[in-house]
Structure 1
């Protein structure tokens, strides 16, 4: 039988990317490509719309396969866009003199926060240096002495008046350690206790009344003394205020005028003056403590500016890339320091988060990392919904007892958030979180592949040139570029496309440069690229080699010659890390009388996935469609992946399972030198599958170890021809006629290749399959035979049944 119509010619087995359009290009040394978007126009048009949209909720979620540059290119694009945006204002916190537990937030024009802080700190230094000198000046000391002298004189005069009044009543004012007290006079001298007791009762009562009057005069005297003391102190304080006010005037008049356009700053400056004037003693004590070195934190610390974020000398809007989005890293924190065995905090220990630094610009966050930390996602949504950011103490969220801490004033937030994550996370959030769709309305999706014709080849070459230039790698010549482009096409899985996984391409170029340098070459050629790929395979194919050894030693049974009934070589793909390889898997089927239909042994032992189960069920539909036109199907058949001890998933073996089932029914041997892969539908159409290159190469390697006969090959779906990019060793074997690739569109074509006999055609006039020796005719006869066996067996009475019960109704 002629198999030529189904054989794939060698020219279609491997991609050959033409560089004829680049006739002058010898190496990549002359390429200096700038940073630009590589074949991802869909993603970047969406990103541009999201960045330019100022309406609420238009934040961006970037999705795409790993290695497509979704992180690097997104960051570069956002940074380039941010340069065209205005620079946002500075953010800072200051002491709130009205509510010390709620630090005041100041939003200042760019660069002015640092100026305000410098001015305030200059004021603090001046206070520490100049204020003690003011209170040590001769004028101030002379004034204090004068006030004290006047006070002493008035107090003495008041005391003399009190003595005179007391003497008039017969009493003497005597000072004691406990104060002053009245003593009665007797004959011009202080009366002793003995004399007092010897006086008549009436005289003593009269003395007691006089003493009460004197005590009342003493109280009035003491009250006057306190008033005089207060007046003296107030005079000194007023003089101090006048001197301090003169001292403060030069510092604050200019500041207030400079920040006249910032009412909140002016109000805070006025609070400083009021607090300073009202707490001079605390200020002086703080200065003394600093000078004596007894304290590090003093009353003066409140006169400061804590700059949270400053964008001075930074053009454009900020771009912050947060790779570790913990609660504190995103939303800021309130730190504490140990002071005399206690942890204390103040407004100067408020630290910014990524949202503060990105305010007025753009924040790029790794979405998957964000969900590793509790409260982060909910807090981020709340910030974006309310448009303001409060710095909270994370520990308070889990503390059973509220503790006293700072409550900084919320800061208005205007930021564009760009999340980067896998597509499944986007879908999960969209389905389960009703707020997600309202906040992240823009999806920017990076595609895994792109068309080679539409500038794809040129973009890939420019990318390779840029990587070589920026990283100091050896340049690639034309042959090496062709090999890299072929590798890219294989990654893409399509002859007409190239892979957008530029991380993989860059790694190949880096490794190739390493091997070229090891061999003393100045340019990377095609041989080096092929060696690099072989070295990659060698580093990762230990399991592949161990499986091959098991096949060589007949531990794993794989036939590559002869014919067998009810057995075929299917093909499976193994994935170990980032390395994929294919190996044959022996599929067998057995058929007998019964009505149980097709039994999937893998499913019975729970080693079969749902897609594989669906593929097996499709086989029943195909058999009904083809062979149940004029009779019921009556059979029991089992299908098994022999020597398989792990889960089976996917429908890529459904064509092989159907062929082995037909072989077992019709007792038709199948060529064991031809492996099969492909999916099949109920109409018998062969559908494409994945991993086609790895599967072919895996079976080819087994055949090479067993010895090529010239008849061996692989049956693949015709739709998979565009995905072929086989290793040169396979292509050379096909060119020599030692190995073959067959592309089929229907089950009947695969049957003809595996059996060397026609599948057969149904003749509706005769109700028979033609020709009579076709495979379907033989399968049909066998199905009729099984149905008769089952019918006859059902009619035959049981040998154990009593004779009287053999007739119906008895």
Structure 2
């Protein structure tokens, strides 16, 4: 096996040469479209928007900050600009069923015009009706009808009175009504006088009274018919006088909307209802003529037009983003007002939801916010399934509410819904909601990064120019752009790729712009970007500083010099508030004779996660497969993260644990000037891990604080070399030979670096050279196996002797 060699400084960071750019500052660059590296996602969005079939709504998924919103809105607005403006949506009073308002769709802009016309009509209606009913001609006509009616009744009563008077019977009117009484010489007889009359005469008088009473009854029975006739005559008169007045008020509205049959039908219904209501109102008694203002307003509300969605100022199809997608904001709602202690509503209190405003266009909703709102997700699915937007309160939709409310006519839906969320939400819905796959058939998955090629670096610069202009920042010179390209590679955790997290990039550009403005510069350069990064690191360094101080003062035991068997410096990454920090952690292993068990103390104490436990099981399998193929594993071992009081997850420490275990088994000490990270498979091959830059820098900071002596270093997987984008000070220390990075492919290579002892490879006959690590492991395991067999044999012999003594043999 070749002698391990540290990586050259050139492999620790891939720089971007400012000379590769042909511009001086981003001010001279044309804006990028903003969808760099997102060709697949853009194609998916365009496909989803173009599909007119039901169920082809779009779910845009990707990591936060990847530009999903900006790209989606750009594509939506570009498409919507060339599409027709949808119609206005209005609700009208239903004169047949007041609780079921009617829907009226009008060409864009016509709804506002109709509403204005009807408001003018309502404003002029009261005075016009009053003027028509108070006109002299109408008043005289009504008075004449009433006078004639009164004269007719009085004449009939007078004729009856004269007829009965001729027969000595008088018709008297009392508070209780009409009565007949006998008379003599024109005077009403007293009861005593009537009783004094002969019986025959009294009977004759009573017979005449009975006859006249029947005639009076017939006459009084005719009076209601006469009064009805006069009422009908007055109503005809009022209709004749009010009809032209109302028609005159509606004439302008009819002319303006003569091409819309539904509007004309509504105006006919209004005309009829106005006449009916006005005629009924004129029959009120005089004391009821002072109608309360709210009731008067309520009477005329029914003639208003509720303009639910107004597209008079729209150009193209609407693109609506609902930032608060609650049920009412999404589906619409019906508001109530309190009158005399009761909740009442009417069609003018119907409020449009985002689905109404986006109808005929596109609705964009944040998936996570939607799912956290009660009933909102189910309400949206119900609308998309049914193809209509039906406004109903959530409680009523669940059958809970007993409150009387409106049932507006449903609005046919013709819109495209675009949900934006992260991948976890998309796959969660796909796995757990059967209807989701039927409704959102198009997934637009945004990439997190793109290959770092010279051409893409130039496109990256154009993207920065777009972000600079959007945020109104100072232009960035080529050195600043080059530094931002390097930071983009670090954000991608790959020197060969560039992060597409435009949010993080924009934040850094704003902070660098702040540094440039403090210096009074005209452009932002590399120094300002470096200053912004340094300032950010200072703001967020409380935790790593406390961890490092704890190690330096001896509270947390971490050795960076000397050597010790079974002890190794592992590396972990902690993420807090979006910032990541690395620091070393001591891992120890102990070995004793046993039955092949490797005890993971983290798992036993329930501090180890599933992936970490998997890593321990894999290294156990490696030990058994390599060293115990032809003999039993006669050891027991334990592994632990020392002074770790929080859950441990991930398998990036499995290489360190295996090295500590091999060291404890062979008692070959590990040099503590090294730290190591990496996962291992069952064949002893070292696999890639994440956070390699933060891990290396965390150990470097500790060694720097204690003083670099030229021997400190970190062992990493060879597969992680392409991910290296280390800080400049780490690179410079490596270039000066004060700090080293070793890349290994196998556990044998790692142990060679850590111990200075050759691993030892078997020759063609399978013989491992003496004095090597693997020979020592095999020897120790053979000794343990022999000791175990001897112990078992001894226990077996002692058991046999005891058995013979017990049975007297």
Determine the structure 2 residue equivalent to 1:224: 222
Does the alignment pair 1:451 with 2:472? no
C-alpha distance in structure 2 between counterparts of 1:249 and 1:455, whole Å:
73
Which position in structure 2 is the counterpart of 1:48? 46
Report the Cα offset of residue 79 of structure 1: 1.8
- Residue 369 of structure 2 corresponds to 369
1:500-579, aligned counterparts within 5 Å?
Answer: 500-579=500-579
**Which string of whole-angstrom CA distances, capped at 9 and with x for unpartnered residues, describes residues 692-744 of structure 1?**
00001011111111221212111111111110000011100110011111111
Whether 1:498 and 2:483 are equivalent positions in the alignment is no
C-alpha offsets along residues 84-134 of structure 1, whole Å, 9 cap, x if unaligned? 111100001111000001111111111111121122222222212222111
CA distance in 2, matches of 1:310, 1:511: 42
Query: Match for 1:192 among 190, 193, 202?
Result: 190
Kept in 1, the 8 Å contact 2:142–2:237? The answer is no
Whether contact under 8 Å (1:290, 1:296) holds in the other structure is: no
Once the two structures are TM-superposed, the CA of residue 251 in structure 1 deviates from its matched residue by: 4.2
SS at structure 2 position matched to 1:128: helix
Is 1:32–1:469's contact at 8 Å kept on the other side of the alignment? no
Aligned to 1:391: 391
Q: In structure 2, what is the Cα distance between the partners aligned to 1:173 and 1:59?
A: 88
Superposition RMSD on alpha carbons, in Å? 2.4
- How far apart in 1 are the matches of 2:542 and 2:445? 36
8 Å CA contact 1:489, 1:497 repeated in 2: yes
On the 8 A contact 1:448/1:501 being kept in 2, the answer is: yes
Aligned to 2:771: 773
Q: What displacement does 1:257 show?
A: 6.0
> Take 1:456 and 1:713, find their aligned partners in 2: how far apart are those partners?
34
Task: Give the alignment of 1:355-754 within 5 angstroms.
Answer: 355-396=355-396, 402-453=402-453, 455-754=455-754
Q: Does 1:22 align with 2:42?
A: no
Counterpart contact for 2:568–2:656, Cα < 8 Å: yes
From 249, 266, 278, the equivalent of 1:268 is: 266
CA contact (8 A) 1:289 1:295 kept: no
1:761 match: secondary structure:
coil
CA distance in 2, matches of 1:250, 1:117: 18
Determine helix, strand or coil for the equivalent of 1:751: helix
Contact 2:560 2:703 survives alignment (8 Å)? yes
Instruction: Measure, in 1, the Cα distance between the counterparts of 2:18 and 2:290.
Output: 77
Shift of 1:764: 5.6
Q: Using the alignment, how far apart are the partners of 1:209 and 1:68 within structure 2? A: 109
Corresponding position: 1:111 with 2:72 = no
Q: Using the alignment, how far apart are the partners of 1:540 and 1:359 within structure 2?
A: 46
* 2:92 counterpart residue number: 94
1:443 & 1:452 partners in 2: Cα distance?
A: 26
Deviation at residue 259 of structure 1 after TM alignment:
4.2
Is residue 797–residue 806 contact of structure 1 (8 Å, CA) maintained in 2? Answer: no
Deviation at 1:750, TM superposition (A): 1.0
CA contact (8 A) 1:461 1:481 kept: yes
Say if 1:426 and 1:808 are closer, same or farther in 2 by CA, change over 3 A: farther
Which residues of 2 match residues 3-14 of structure 1 at below 5 A? 3=3, 6-14=5-13
1:487 and 1:284 map into 2 onto residues whose CA distance is 83
Secondary structure at the aligned position of 2:324 is classed as: coil
Question: SS of 2:297's equivalent?
Answer: coil
Q: Deviations over 1:143-198 (max 9, x none)?
A: 22322332233223212221133234442111223332222223432121212333
Distance 1:577 1:206 in 2: 116
CA, structure 1 residues 655+302, in 2 after alignment: closer, same or farther (shift >3 Å)?
Answer: same
CA distance in structure 1 between the partners assigned to 2:54 and 2:806 by the alignment:
81
Q: Partners of 1:64 and 1:312 in 2: how far apart? A: 36
User: CA shift at 1:396, angstroms?
Assistant: 3.6
1 CA distance for matches of 2:562 and 2:228?
Answer: 121
Q: Deviations over 1:402-443 (max 9, x none)?
A: 121111111111111111112111111111111110000011
1:495 Cα deviation from its structure 2 partner: 1.3
> What is the Cα deviation at residue 276 of structure 1?
1.5
How far apart are 1:637 and its partner, in Å? 0.7
Mapped to 2, the partners of 1:745 and 1:556 lie a distance apart of 31
The reply to whether residue 140 of structure 1 matches residue 106 of structure 2 is: no
CA shift for structure 1 position 22: 2.2
Instruction: Provide TM-score, normalisation by structure 1.
Output: 0.95
Between the aligned partners of 2:105 and 2:500, the Cα distance in structure 1 is: 44
SS of the aligned residue for 1:768 comes to: coil
Match of 1:71 in 2: 69
SS of equivalent residue, structure 2 residue 762: strand
Tell me, in whole angstroms, the C-alpha distance in 1 between the residues paired with 2:265 and 2:580.
69
Residue by residue over 1:728-768, the C-alpha shift from the partner in whole angstroms, topping out at 9 and shown as x without a partner, is: 11100110011111111111111111121211112462x53
Give structure 2 stretches of 5+ with no counterpart: none
Partner of 1:127: 125
Distance 1:807 1:364, change over 3 A: farther
Q: Distance in 1 between matches of 2:471 and 2:16?
A: 26
- 1:623-645 CA distance string (max 9 Å, x none): 12211233222111111111111
Distance 1:233 1:267, change over 3 A: same
- Partner Cα separation in structure 2 for residue 471 and residue 429 of structure 1: 35
Give the secondary structure class of the aligned counterpart of 2:363.
strand
User: In structure 2, what is the Cα distance between the partners aligned to 1:34 and 1:632?
Assistant: 65
Q: How far, CA to CA, are the matches of 2:577 and 2:63 in structure 1? A: 16
C-alpha deviation, 1:200, in angstroms: 4.4
SS at match of 1:324: coil
Instruction: Confirm or deny: 8 A CA contact 1:282 1:299 kept in the other structure.
Output: no
37, 41, 44: which one aligns with 1:39? 37
SS at match of 1:726: coil
1:34 to partner: Cα distance: 5.9
In the alignment, the residues of structure 2 paired with residue 661 and residue 652 of structure 1 have an alpha-carbon distance, to the nearest angstrom, of 16
Q: How far has the Cα of 1:528 moved from its partner? A: 1.4
Map of 1:312-391 to 2, 5 A cutoff?
312-391=312-391
Please, what TM-score do these two structures have when normalized by structure 2? Answer: 0.95
Q: State the SS of the aligned residue for 2:430.
A: helix
3-state SS of 2:434 partner: coil
- Alignment check: 8 A CA contact 1:677 1:715 kept: yes
Unmatched segments (≥5 aa) in structure 1: none
C-alpha deviation, 1:283, in angstroms: 6.0
1:592-623, Cα deviation, whole Å (9 max, x unpaired)? 11114211111111111111111111112111
| Aligned-residue offset at 1:30 | 2.6
- After superposition, the Cα gap between the structure-2 partners of 1:51 and 1:294, relative to the gap in structure 1 and judged at 3 Å, is closer
Between the aligned partners of 2:804 and 2:497, the Cα distance in structure 1 is 72
Decide which moves more: 679-688 or 212-221: 212-221
Question: What is the CA–CA distance in structure 2 between the aligned matches of 1:194 and 1:715, rounded to whole Å?
Answer: 140
Cα separation, 1, equivalents of 2:655 and 2:294: 88
Aligned to 2:158: 160
Which of 789, 794, 797 is equivalent to 1:796? 794
Q: Is the 8 A contact 2:18 2:479 kept in 1?
A: no
> Helix, strand or coil for the counterpart of 1:607?
coil
Q: Is the 8 A contact 2:619 2:658 kept in 1?
A: yes
* Offset, 1:395: 4.5
Alpha-carbon distance between aligned partners in 2 of 1:472 and 1:370, rounded to the nearest angstrom: 32
Q: Where does residue 759 of structure 2 map in the other structure?
A: 759
Cα distance in 2 for partners of 1:501, 1:285 equals 75
Cα distance, 1:580 vs structure 2: 0.5
